[in-house]
Chains A and B, each alone.
Chain A
Amino acid sequence: MISIDLIQKTAEILMDKAAIEIPDDYLTGLKAASAVEDGDLSSFVLKAMLENYEVAKQDRRAMCGDTGTPRWYIKMGNETQVEGGPIALEAALRRATANATNGVPLRPNRVHPLWRTDHDNNVGIGAPEIEYGYEPGGEWIDLITVHKGGLFGTDYRMLFPSDGIQGIKRFYLDSLISFGKRGLACQPAIIGIGLGGCKDTCMVLGKRAACLRTVGDRNSDPRIAELELELKELGNSIGMGAMGFVGKSMVIDAHIEVGYCHTGGMQMSVHAFCLSSRRAVARVFPDGRVEYRTDPDWFTDYQRRETVEWELPAVAAE
Chain B
Amino acid sequence: MSPREIRLSTTPSPEALAELQLGDIVYLDGLMYTAREGVYKRALEDKANIPMELPAESATNFHCSPAARINADGTFTMGAVTATASFRFAKWLPEWLEKSGAKLVIGKGGMSSKDYKAYFVPNGAIYLSTVGYGTGALLGRGVESVEAVHWNEELGLAQAMWVIKCNRMGPFIVASDIEGRCLFERENERISQNLERIYEGTRPATLKRFGETDDKSDELIG
Contact = CB atoms under 8 A, between A and B. Distances in A.
Contacts of B198: 173, 234, 237-239
Contact of A167 (B2, B85, B129, B205): B205
A120 B133 contact: no
A48 B132 contact: yes
A109 B132 contact: no
A244 B136 contact: no
B211 interface: no
A184 B220 contact: yes
Interface in A146-205: 151-152, 157-160, 162-164, 166-167, 169-171, 173, 177-179, 181-184, 186
A52 B157 contact: no
A188 to B, nearest CB: 11
A238 B67 contact: no
Given A118-B157, A177-B195, A177-B216, A63 B205 contact: no
Given A63-B137, A181-B219, A238-B191, A243 B171 contact: no
Interface stretch (B6-14, B73-81, B97-105): B73-81
A59 B141 contact: yes
Contacts of A56: 80, 136-137
A65 B157 contact: no
Interface string A106-146: 11110100001010100000000000000000000000000
Contact of B220 (A102, A104, A181, A237): A181
Given A62-B67, A67-B80, A106-B67, A45 B132 contact: yes
A102 B83 CA distance: 20
Given A62-B67, A65-B67, A107-B65, A48 B138 contact: yes
B135 interface: yes
Name, among B69, B81, B133, the residue most crowded by chain A CB atoms within 10 Å (CB to CB).
B133
Interface in B129-170: 129, 131-141, 156-159
Interface in A186-235: 186, 234
A83 to B, nearest CB: 30
A251 interface: no
A97 to B, nearest CB: 14
Contacts of A49: 131-132, 135
A59 B194 CA distance: 41
Nearest to A45: B131
A182 B110 contact: yes
Contacts of B85: 151-152, 184
Contact of B66 (A107, A152, A183): A107
A4 interface: no
A239 B190 CA distance: 9
Interface of B: 1-3, 23, 25, 38, 64-69, 77, 79-85, 108-110, 129, 131-141, 156-159, 171, 173, 184, 187-188, 190-191, 194-195, 198-199, 201-207, 216, 219-221
Rank and list the top 10 A-B pairs by shortest CB-CB distance, nearest first: A65-B82, A118-B156, A64-B134, A56-B137, A170-B202, A62-B80, A65-B136, A182-B109, A64-B136, A239-B194
16 contacts: A49-B135, A55-B138, A61-B80, A64-B80, A65-B81, A65-B82, A66-B136, A67-B80, A105-B68, A107-B80, A118-B157, A163-B203, A177-B195, A184-B85, A238-B195, A242-B132
Interface of A: 19, 40-41, 44-45, 48-49, 51-53, 55-56, 59, 61-67, 102, 104-109, 111, 116, 118, 120, 151-152, 157-160, 162-164, 166-167, 169-171, 173, 177-179, 181-184, 186, 234, 237-240, 242-246, 274-276
Given A52-B136, A56-B137, A64-B134, 13 more contacts: A48-B171, A52-B134, A56-B136, A62-B80, A64-B137, A111-B156, A111-B158, A162-B206, A179-B220, A182-B221, A243-B131, A274-B133, A276-B134
